[in-house]
Amino acid sequence: MRPVEIKEGIFWTGVVDWNRRNFHGYSISHKGTTYNNFLIKDEKVALIDTVAEEFWGAMQCNLAHVLGPEGKIDYFIINHLEPDHAGCLALAVEKYQPEKIYTSPMGQKAMQAHFHYKDWPVEVVPTGSEISLGKRTLQFVETRMLHWPDAMLTYCPEDKIAFTNDAFGQNWATSERFADQVDRTFLEDLMKTYYANIVLPYSPVVLKTLKALEEMNLDIDMICPDHGLMFRGKEECKWVLDKYVEFAEQKPKKKAVIVFDTMWHSTENMANAVASGLADEGISVRVMSMKSNHHSEVMTEIFDAAAVIVGSPTHNNGILPLMADMLTYMKGLRPQNKIGAAIGSFGWSGECVKVLTQALEEMGMDIVDPIKVKHVPTHDTLVQCYQQGKDIAAAIKAKLD
């Protein structure tokens, strides 16, 4: 993709990764991603972030389209040191020999740890710092733990642009550059997936940071994340900021997710009976087998659900490996405001529901009594599972009403 002038003298010079399929441990399926970076032409030329190292050639080509083959870049602004954004930094420093490299206090530590540089012209810019490019000013705001400690937002007041790095991003490889060029519903789903699988553990920090940004009274007319599409216009920017508040507050819907693995279909049949009890009480239900769904797809559904029901047979005095993987992944993302329940079958030792329930308790969920059956569920035990679904539905309604 060729560079795009997003405002006069400011260019998107990023790259599209059409073939990326996994990102930070979550599946992005066929969607791919983009690594966005930005070039500002002023009396001083500034590059905001780089791209993943394997796209160094593509980034150079885009920069040359704007600057010419021998063009100079005076300043580098590094908002985040993760390799998908700073992967080309060492190569870019060698080629362009910038006067200054600006980054956050934690960014400087991360930069040293990543690149082990000795004589780079690094200057730390804590919150409140600003630099002049000539006609333009760049102001810096630390956004720690969105989603790394080094994260920083760069704001240009003259153009009313916030360069937000990972915040407000989506993983989507497209020829379009702006959110108003695509289907809003699909875009929101991608934003939710990104948030649920990357940003979710830091939701308290998100709320605190957004509140601090609001108090700064930044006049934002464009939000430029480093993944996916950009947002332009005050209404668009307000929409995405409000959406992040909504995500961070983690207010659940009348929805339950049943996630399970099964050996000989006993646990699967129990899961379907629980689902029937929930559905008959008007609760939206998703039943997801770990053999058929990636853990990130499950997590995206769990994100806005009020209840999570987990199921597994006993296996080697524990649970099946795919369920253990799912619970580990979910625990790390720290979902809040959930009701939890466990189901499972067993042959002789029967530890499954104890292991599952303990995992849910460790995540702070409100627990509904578990159900386990020996070998194959009977009609009576499936009725118990159906009733468990109705009990969970009642708990959901009590929680949300």
Query: What is the C-alpha to C-alpha distance for residues 263 and 326, in angstroms, rounded to an integer?
Result: 16
CATH number, domain of 206, equals: 3.60.15.10
Residue 381 sits at φ, ψ, to 5 deg, of: -70, -30
- Cβ contact 11:66 at 8 Å: yes
Whether residue 187 lies inside any domain: the answer is yes
Per-position pLDDT tens, the chain of length 401: 799 999 999 999 999 998 877 766 766 667 889 999 999 999 999 999 999 999 999 999 999 999 998 889 999 999 999 888 889 999 999 999 999 999 999 999 999 999 999 899 999 999 999 999 999 999 999 998 888 889 999 999 999 999 999 899 998 999 999 999 999 999 999 999 999 998 999 999 999 999 998 899 999 999 999 999 999 999 999 999 999 999 999 999 999 999 999 988 989 999 999 999 999 999 999 999 999 999 989 999 999 999 999 999 888 877 889 989 999 999 999 999 999 999 998 878 877 889 899 999 999 999 999 998 888 888 999 999 999 999 999 999 988 98
Q: What CATH number did the domain enclosing 347 receive?
A: 3.40.50.360
DSSP conformation letters of 53-114: GGGHHHHHHHHHHHH-TT----EEEES--SHHHHTTHHHHHHHH--SEEEE-HHHHHHHHHH
248, 274, 305 - which closes a domain: 248
Say what the pTM is. 0.90
- Residues with a catalytic annotation lie at 24, 80, 82, 84, 147, 166, 194, 227
- Closest residue by Cα to residue 260 from 312, 306, 308: 312
Residues 205 and 241 in one domain: yes
Domain range spanning residue 281?
A: 256-395
Taking the CA of residue 182 as centre, how many other CA atoms within 13 Å lie in the half-sphere pointing to its CB? 20
Q: What is the structure's pLDDT at 50?
A: 95
Output phi, psi for 19, to 5 deg: -110, 0
The answer to whether position 29 is within a domain reads yes
Q: DSSP secondary-structure letter at 39?
A: E
Q: Are residues 232 and 263 in the same domain?
A: no
194 and 295 co-located in one domain: no
Gap between the Cα atoms of 37 and 30, Å rounded? 23
Asked whether residue 331 is domain-assigned, the answer is yes
Q: Identify whether residues 281 and 307 lie together within a single domain.
A: yes
Domain stop point among 248, 272, 301: 248
Q: Any residues with CB less than 8 A from the CB of 41 and at least 6 apart, and which? A: 9, 10, 11, 66, 67
Same domain, 241 and 128: yes
Total structural domains within the chain: 2
Residue 320: the pLDDT is 87
